Amino acid sequence: MAEFAPRALATGIGSLPHPDPQDALRLILSTFPTIPFWPQLSQRDFRENMYAQFSEDLVGVKIDLPHEWMGAVIDDDTLAGAEAFYARYLENDPRLFAVGRDYAAGLYALHDQRAALRAAKWIKGQVTGPISFGLKVVDQNLRPMLYDDTLRDVLVKHLARKAQWQEKFLADIGAIHESPLPTIIFVDEPSLALIGASVVALNRDEVVRDLEEVFSALSGLKGTHCCGNTDWSLLLETSVDVISFDAYNYAENLALFADHVKRFLNRGGALAWGIVPTVEAQVAAETEESLVARLDAAIGLLVKKSIDRDLLYERALVTPACGLGTISINAAERAFALTRGVSERVRAREWRLTTF
């Protein structure tokens, strides 16, 4: 993979509470000019919910917008649809898997404002991962889509093509630069926190296989976001380039996998430290100073386990712990300001960098 040493630059996760994509994008571009991303706006339309957003044209999935019901329906039409899907998939044309404007207004708003990306060094996107999607979307008997072998394979390949299309779409946006912007596509997997839970039958090898199929569709930097605690060794041993995690709550858990983290960093990996909380009361209570101290303490847990301190900061991103779509607009704006403030303080202290 290309060298990725962000030196504590800041970016966001995905969701924002704004109903207007232009308002959301203005906030993103003013706060994170170096690594902007497109906003997911579930308050604008149910189709921007992270599970509905990438379901467009997915075999077996129906969305009933008046009731906001979404599920997988397994019947003869679904089996016929799977045959048609594989024919479309084998054409190897990501344009056949485009995300529509109604499903991602923020993505198209970013395209329309691409001239504002002059300060950007990377451009970030996100897609829902196959494990989380496959566990969340269920059939009429509440059986997760992931447990149907036919639909699981269709789902993984569908999301791989959606990610591939988005990467090309973002690369085209970033082509306004003399040197086109490199892309970072995050595969969002909150349900990986369920690995090991008795209520979910997840086979580790199959999870890795499904993730790798999505990763392999991408040619640029690929990341994974998991906002809960999980078996971090699973992710650290995949081909992923960036792991985004909730460092505000789970830094101690990641430190339990220090040997895996060291190998991950040594092969060029980076960690996105979600040090800014996403609970409204916590956002109000924290300051830049308190969060820098919290980040230093979190990184210190790995330094104590013989991981090079300079390397940890060199390969760090600073982010909120998760998406901000469920809190108020004022709280989301404060969380963004805190994220940028933490980044600026760390960069000034570690490298005397004054530009963002």
pLDDT digits (tens, 9 = 90+) for 54-85: 999 999 887 766 555 666 555 557 778 899 99
Residue 342 pLDDT exceeds 90: yes
The 3-class SS string of the chain reads CCCCCCCCEECCCCECCCCCHHHHHHHHHHHCCCCCECCECCCCCHHHCCCCCCCCCCCCEEEECCCCEEEECCCHHHHHHHHHHHHHHCCCCHHHHCCCHHHCHHHHHHHHCHHHHCCCCCEEEEEECHHHHHHHCECCCCCEHHHCHHHHHHHHHHHHHHHHHHHHHHHHHHHHCCCCCCEEEEEECHHHHHCCCCCCCCCHHHHHHHHHHHHCCCCCEEEEEECCCCCHHHHHCCCCCEEEECHHHHHHHHHCCHHHHHHHHHCCCEEEEEEECCCHHHHHHCCHHHHHHHHHHHHHHHHCCCCCHHHHHHCEEEEECCCCCCCCHHHHHHHHHHHHHHHHHHHHHHHCCCCC
In this prediction, residue 79 carries a pLDDT of 79
pTM of the model: 0.94
Write down the domain spans for the chain. Answer: 9-351
pLDDT 10s digits, 276-330: 999 999 999 999 999 999 999 999 999 999 999 999 999 999 999 999 999 999 9
Higher-pLDDT residue of 140, 42: 42
- % of the chain exceeding 90 in pLDDT: 81
Task: Give pLDDT, residue 203.
Answer: 85
- State the average pLDDT over residues 30-52: 95
**Residue-averaged pLDDT of the chain:** 92
**Can you tell me the mean pLDDT for 132-139?**
90
Q: Give the model's confidence band at 355: pLDDT under 50 very low, under 70 low, under 90 confident, else very high.
A: low
Question: Is residue 120 predicted with pLDDT exceeding 60?
Answer: yes
Residue 194 has pLDDT above 90, yes or no: no
Q: Which class is domain 9-351?
A: alpha beta
What pLDDT is recorded for position 307? Answer: 98
